[in-house]
Structure 1
Amino acid sequence: MKDIEKYLQEILGELIGVERLPENQLNTMPLYIYHAYNIYKTTLLNRAVILVENKNIDDFRISQADKHIELLRNAFNKPVVLVLAQLASYNRLRLIDKRINFIVPGKQLFILDLMMDLRESFAPYKKQNKENLTPSAQLIVLYHILNKNDLNAIKNLSFKDLAEKLGYSSMAITKAVENLKQLGLIEVQGLKEKRISFVYDRIDLWNKMKENGFYCDPVLKRVFVDEIPHDTKLLGSNESALAEYSDMNPSRQLFFAIEKNAYYALQKRNKLMNENKYEGRYCLEVWKYNPLTLAEVFNRHPKIVDPLSLFISFMEDSDERIQMALEQIEEKYLW
């Protein structure tokens, strides 16, 4: 608990002592609580608080933790704070949404019972300005970068052909091109049949987009379901895909990407079993552009999303495991 003591002292500016809960109090807890958590006590802002450290992060489930914390809160009549060594961004948002107190040492402290919400290092990539690529413009950029075997694939297409290739209307492509021009990434050539030409080569284009914060997160939202719809093609995404592109171990949670219009169609037909914001056997990531388009052009892992969209979806996650995996993606699939 030295790391949690140090973190709390840095945050609160006072000496914090964390002690293991006495055995006579631990013995009153159900065995499954005893085996799942290390339980400590401390004082924060003159309030007695119970800290519960999850012993096995790979077996962490929010719905289960919520029930356990409620049991401990009732048993001790004190605020209970979950302590986690690491926490994926999607789980962080779900904990906050469910109003569960938690601490990730060195990264975030959220204790609603004490009206505390301090965040420090969950955003390693800071956007430099408010200008962003639109989803359709980002699709064009990534299509070009990923298409190593034909660097003129985009340049040789008229706006109309580009719209057909990427599954957009001519108007949508015109707006995407205007977005790319405003960001200084392309030049438009031709009079009657206009085409685009990128100002930078593949690597410089990627670095320009990343360093200037032009990227947009391809994920619109995440929902959880208990069954995967069988009549819609889905691609592995998030940590399920990251494990395929890097040395990172796969997570217990299974993730799949689906284009937003396909998702809304399934929703309208009531094809999403037990859809909710918190937990389920599968997590569906609803994408702003069609993940199938870039998976097809990349064509090295046809069952998962392309590596660069995946990279962008994790760019503001400071988990060290994630950042190491992103470095591997750049080394393996960009250069």
Structure 2
Amino acid sequence: MLLKEVIKNLELYLSQALGVQTKASPWKGKGDLPLFLLNSYDFYEILLFDRPCLLIIPKQETTVSPATLKKHRDQVQTKWVGCCIYVQEAISPYNRQRLIRHRISFIAPGNQMYLPGLGIDLREYFQQPKPKKDLFSPATQAVVIYGLCHNPCEGYTTTELIKELGYSRMTLNRAFSELEKAGVGLIDRKGKERRWSFREEKRELWTQTEPLLRSPVKQRVWVKGKKPKIKAGLTALAECSMLNPPTVPIYAMSMADWLHWKESGVKVLPISEEATAELEIWHYNPTSITHNSVIDPFSLYLSLREIKDERIEAALESVIKLSLKK
């Protein structure tokens, strides 16, 4: 969309949503910014409730990660005192959530607005509250993540997933019904049994289901003694990024495996001192998703997505981006 149209839509949107009449004008101070920022964005000034704000508008319809955008905004704010607002016509729900987590002010004209510095949340003004979606059950989540790690286009019957995931036929039929109710993929029949498939790209499956997925971690414990086999948490993330691993390694296992493991005599500690490992006890079995020594990338993301650390967030984004290309 042309820059003039973006500006026009923004001004109209502010008028309709907030009752604010304002005109955007080019920012004269942009010449002091680094060249790469000038090549990437247009900069316009507006007044909102008598407060000067700077609009940061990408020149091309490309997706900038929230972590990168935050760095760019911080550089701009060395030359601008006031609120900086990122403006883009289309922002995916996934990236909107990430922008909010970074407390980055943004406006998607006609759709969303988040301006924490001005005390404005888009949902207060023009969206009817939506009922909170229930998260998927652990079995349904395991089916989705198994599909993401393999090929959901091929489709999986209940019999095939019984062998792979270890759930009963009744549990998997409930998971298929849950997916069908949520409109995720296609439920049809292969012979006498049901089959679930997802015919679009993995990225679409991830975008559609990520808000419905929970952290796989049910409980964390410190132990002293032998170590499990499958790495998790920051230990797993260090395996696929430049991050340093934690001092005490982190591993994952199912509740059933944990109960069996605890009976073998492993010592549970109240704190990390003297611990040889930190255990994540999961809602589903990590070894049923992957047979590697590291947990699957999607469960890894879900287990760490609430951590507010730019390095971890950037590493997780890279892991997901790479995994969706496979």
- Gap runs ≥5 in structure 1: 1-120, 297-301
1:324 aligns with 2:301: no
Task: Tell me the alpha carbon deviations over residues 72-119 of structure 1, each in whole angstroms, 9 at most, x when there is no partner.
Answer: xxxxxxxxxxxxxxxxxxxxxxxxxxxxxxxxxxxxxxxxxxxxxxxx
Question: Aligned pair count?
Answer: 199
Superposition map of 1:96-135 within 5 A:
124=101, 129-135=132-138
Superposition map of 1:216-255 within 5 A:
216-228=214-226, 234-255=229-250
1:308 counterpart residue number:
298
How many angstroms apart in 2 are the aligned matches of 1:317 and 1:221?
17
Normalising by structure 2, what TM-score? 0.56
Normalising by structure 1, what TM-score? 0.54
2:158 counterpart residue number:
159
2:121 counterpart residue number:
none
How many angstroms apart in 1 are the aligned matches of 2:167 and 2:271?
29
2:67 counterpart residue number:
none
How far did residue 278 of structure 1 move? Answer: 5.2
How far did residue 215 of structure 1 move? Answer: 0.8
Q: Which has the higher contact order (CA 8 A, sep 6+)?
A: 1
CA distance 1:207–1:272, change in 2 (3 Å): same
How far did residue 235 of structure 1 move? Answer: 0.5
How many angstroms apart in 2 are the aligned matches of 1:295 and 1:225?
24
CA contact (8 A) 1:137 1:176 kept: yes
CA contact (8 A) 2:135 2:213 kept: yes
1:206 aligns with 2:206: yes
Secondary structure in 2 matching 1:235: coil
How far did residue 314 of structure 1 move? Answer: 1.0
How many angstroms apart in 2 are the aligned matches of 1:277 and 1:221?
14
CA contact (8 A) 1:186 1:197 kept: yes
- Gap runs ≥5 in structure 2: 1-97, 103-129
- Of stretches 284-293 and 273-282 in structure 1, the one that deviates more from structure 2 is 273-282
Superposition map of 1:246-325 within 5 A:
246-267=241-262, 269-276=263-270, 279=273, 280-296=275-291, 302-325=292-315
Secondary structure in 1 matching 2:219: strand
Secondary structure in 1 matching 2:193: coil
AA of the residue aligned to 2:161: L
How many angstroms apart in 2 are the aligned matches of 1:128 and 1:314?
26
How far did residue 131 of structure 1 move? Answer: 1.3
RMSD: 2.6
CA contact (8 A) 1:124 1:317 kept: no
CA contact (8 A) 2:148 2:206 kept: yes
Secondary structure in 2 matching 1:274: strand
CA distance 1:135–1:171, change in 2 (3 Å): same
Task: Tell me the alpha carbon deviations over residues 280-332 of structure 1, each in whole angstroms, 9 at most, x when there is no partner.
Answer: 22101101111112222xxxxx2111111101111111111210111211232
Secondary structure in 1 matching 2:212: coil
How many angstroms apart in 2 are the aligned matches of 1:207 and 1:245?
22
Identical pairs, percent = 28
CA distance 1:219–1:128, change in 2 (3 Å): farther
